[in-house]
Amino acid sequence: MPPARTAAPALTLTFDNGPEPSVTPAVLDVLGRHGIASTFFVIGQKLLDPQARACAEQAHARGHWIGNHTWTHSGPLGERPGDATARLEIDRTQAEIGALAHRPPLFRPTGGGGHLDRRLLSAEAAARLQAGGYTCVLWNAIPRDWREPDAWVDTALAQLAAQPWSLMVLHDLPTGAMRHLDRFLTEAARRGCRFRQDFPPDCLPITAGQITGPLADFVTSSGPAPAS
């Protein structure tokens, strides 16, 4: 028997922590040249800068989705419990996103370096997301472009090859990493990668306010999570 053909990997791209007027427009241009639609998970308070706001508007106009990545990005919400914090980080950001919001609204928790564990959400934050009808978007590929602004491309290609559908976190930040975005996308396409904008269901513990995954694995039940 011939060996089974390996299906071409799929890739959903997301860009966190922007918008950054010095970086995001170039990212949009590269994505446009490749015909790729993605999601930008923006930091709410950055939108107060009119130039940053214009970047988000341009992304939205080009068909990218705009998601909520907290107001201050000052640490995983599971380590910062309380309803007031949840309302500031989630609700205020969504209000600032305003007309650029995706339906259902999209929220990505801050991972404090990429941790996928109970530090991600407080009980109050999880409740806000459900009550607000949010889809909570985690990830399964994080090539740490902010730490390795040159080497991340090789990491990303390896992660892409290791699973059928990658939901990848990159950052439109001035680290220099995005200089390599075009090279990464060219190589991914050469390897047969299919780009898509929607999210792998197993990365969504909440979908439009409904629990659709192991949400408890991502919520600090009481007090700060123990150090690991």
Residues annotated as catalytic (active site), given as ranges: 16, 171
Residue number with CB closer to Zn ion (139 or 193): 139
Question: Minimum distance from CB of 169 to Zn ion (Å)?
Answer: 8
Residue whose Cβ sits closest to Zn ion: 16
Residue number with CB closer to Zn ion (14 or 110): 110
By CB under 5 A, is residue 96 in contact with Zn ion? no
Q: Which stretch binds Zn ion (CB under 5 A): 51-59, 110-118, 147-155, 156-164?
A: 110-118
By CB under 5 A, is residue 16 in contact with Zn ion? yes
Residues 73-92 interacting with Zn ion (rule: CB under 5 A): none
Residue number with CB closer to Zn ion (16 or 145): 16
Question: Minimum distance from CB of 103 to Zn ion (Å)?
Answer: 23
Question: Minimum distance from CB of 110 to Zn ion (Å)?
Answer: 5
Residue among 14, 17, 24, 175 that touches Zn ion (CB under 5 A): 17
Annotate the chain with DSSP letters as a single string: -PPPPPPPPEEEEEEES---TTTHHHHHHHHHHHT---EEEE-GGGGGSHHHHHHHHHHHHTT-EEEE--SS--S-GGGS-SHHHHIIIIIIHHHHHGGGB-SS-EE----TTT--STTSEEHHHHHHHHHTTPEE---SB---TTT-TTTHHHHHHHHHHTSSEEEEEEE-STTSGGGGHHHHHHHHHHTTPEE-SS--GGG-SEETTEE-S-GGGGEE-SSSPPP-
Residue number with CB closer to Zn ion (72 or 155): 72
Q: Which residues bind Zn ion (CB under 5 A)?
A: 16-17, 110
